[in-house]
Structure formats: structure tokens, C-alpha cells
């Protein structure tokens, strides 16, 4: 889902870059899973508050954050 946002050219570049940062954080095998999720959620929270984010993308980001938080608690 994150890659879909990162590749969507209708999404502003700064938002796509933050999403790329979230992907990189989640793929960083050297960190504990909870730390990776925390880093990704932090980036995505910042993205979701950006006034330039398209509404449909904001909804996608919220859904991703919810899934990551559920994974972290499970």
C-alpha cells in the first residue's frame, strides 16, 4: 500500500518522500520490529497532517497507520 502511494504522481513529492522514508524504516532489518513500526507511523502521522495531501491519500495513510499499529500490538 505504501509503494502505491510512493508511485502515485498525483501525490506531492514531499509526501512521496516521507512515504519512501516509511518504507525504508519498515525494511530496516537491523532494527526491532516495534522500532521500525514506530518510525514509519511517525512519518505517516506527519504526512497525514500535511495540508497538501489529497483526501483519498490521507484516507489510505490512516488505514496503513491503523494496520501498522494493530501489527505492533499483536
Question: 38-68 burial string, b = 16+ CB within 10 Å, else e?
Answer: bbbbebbeebbeeeebeeebeebbeebbeeb
pLDDT of amino acid 38 = 96
Give pLDDT tens digits for 10-43: 999 999 999 999 999 999 999 999 999 999 999 9
pLDDT of amino acid 42 = 96
At the fourth CATH level, the homologous superfamily of domain 2-73 is Ta0600-like (1.20.1440.50)
Domain locations along the chain: 2-73
Q: What is the mean pLDDT of the chain?
A: 96
Amino acid at each position: 500500500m505504501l509503494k502505491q502511494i510512493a508511485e502515485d504522481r498525483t501525490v506531492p513529492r514531499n509526501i512521496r518522500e516521507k512515504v519512501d522514508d516509511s518504507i525504508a524504516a519498515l525494511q530496516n532489518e537491523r532494527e526491532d520490529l516495534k522500532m521500525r513500526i514506530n518510525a514509519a507511523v511517525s512519518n505517516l502521522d506527519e504526512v497525514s497532517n500535511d495540508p497538501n495531501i489529497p483526501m483519498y491519500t490521507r484516507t489510505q495513510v490512516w488505514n496503513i497507520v491503523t494496520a501498522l499499529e494493530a501489527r505492533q500490538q499483536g
